[in-house]
Structure 1
């Protein structure tokens, strides 16, 4: 479903991606791990076409992303942003149905509201939440609303950017379980970027370790702890000692 071939991206003298290769099969949940500044968010932005690679190709379902009509292309994606990114001035249901009220996916307001309430129910929120505003919700509820928005249009591909950031361990576990259930239920292809190893183990079918602009290791979640790669081992264990340089 997603293939990156020898992708390079630099910002001035800062070479973020240095010949990155990655394949994500249809229906797979891929989790990308790596240190801060390793290029995980740049990877997602390149796939979405928000920025263009300096070199290499990105294919979605075998088609070069630069050759696809933008509206139809983006309609295939859902996105859960790190900070939630809800619109403060819109009630919850309009946040969830944002894409359904605009563009090629446009529905009537009644249809969009009905879908929004159903997606809220899917993430464990009742219809009473629909007319509230984001500021009236807890952080965990806001994250659920963001998840409902990500799946509202029935996307084929969903990106999760640090989905449990800022949540307590119990709510983080709830969100992880919801992501796993929903991705499986929808048959969607998913890429999650996270530092949270609990999320990695809960969400991933396969894991990719991004370091120094390249995929250091890619493999099934069952092999994460025994892969033998010193970079992966250091990152997973959180040890300050190892090949990954740390500030002391």
Structure 2
């Protein structure tokens, strides 16, 4: 579904992506791990076209991501943002149905409301939550609302940016289980960025380790612990000694 071929991106002298190669098969869940500032979010933004790479090629479903109808391209994606990123002034149901109330995916208001309530139910929230404002919800509930919004338009591809940041371990586990269940139910292709190794093990079919702007290792999550790759081994075990220099 997604192919990145020799993708480069620099911001002035800061070379972030330096020949990134990655393939995400249709209907699978890929988790990208790596230290802060290694380019994970930049890679995601390059796929979405929010940032244009300096070199290389990105294909989505076999087609160049930079060509064709932009609205139709973005309609294929859902996104769970870090920190939920809800609109404070809109009630929960309008946050969930945001894409369904405008643009090419626009639905009648009553239909959009019903879809929002159904998606809230799918993530474990009761219908009465629909009329509340985000500020009235806990962090875990806000994250569930963000997940409901990500799946509201039944996208083919879903991106998860640090889905468990700021959550306690129990709620993080709940969110991880929801993500896994929903991705499998929808048959969607998923790409997750995370530092949380419990999320990696819960969500991933495959894992890719990004370091120094390149994929150092990629493979099934079941092979991660015995990969033999020094970069991956240091990262997943949280060791300060190894090829990845710790910033002191």
Question: TM tier, shorter chain?
Answer: over 0.9
CA distance in 1, matches of 2:25, 2:44: 16
Structure 1, gaps ≥5 residues long: none
Which residue matches 1:106?
106
Which residue matches 2:223?
223
Which residue matches 1:5?
5
Deviations 1:159-206 (A, max 9, x none): 000000000000000000000000000000000000000000000000
Which residue matches 1:237?
237
CA distance in 2, matches of 1:241, 1:20: 25
Deviations 1:2-51 (A, max 9, x none): 00000000000000000100000000000000000000000000000001
Which residue matches 2:189?
189
CA distance in 1, matches of 2:233, 2:219: 13
CA distance in 1, matches of 2:80, 2:51: 18
CA RMSD of aligned residues (A): 0.4
Which residue matches 1:27?
27
Which residue matches 1:54?
54
Match runs of 1:1-248 below 5 Å: 1-248=1-248
CA distance in 2, matches of 1:8, 1:74: 22
Report the 3-state secondary structure (helix = DSSP H, G, I; strand = E; otherwise coil) of the residue aligned with 1:17: strand
- TM-score, normalised via structure 1 length: 1.00
Deviations 1:70-127 (A, max 9, x none): 1000000000000111000000000000000010100000000000000000000000
CA distance in 2, matches of 1:146, 1:223: 31
- TM-score, normalised via structure 2 length: 1.00
4+ residue runs of structure 1 moved beyond 2 angstroms? none
Report the 3-state secondary structure (helix = DSSP H, G, I; strand = E; otherwise coil) of the residue aligned with 2:19: strand
CA distance in 2, matches of 1:100, 1:176: 26
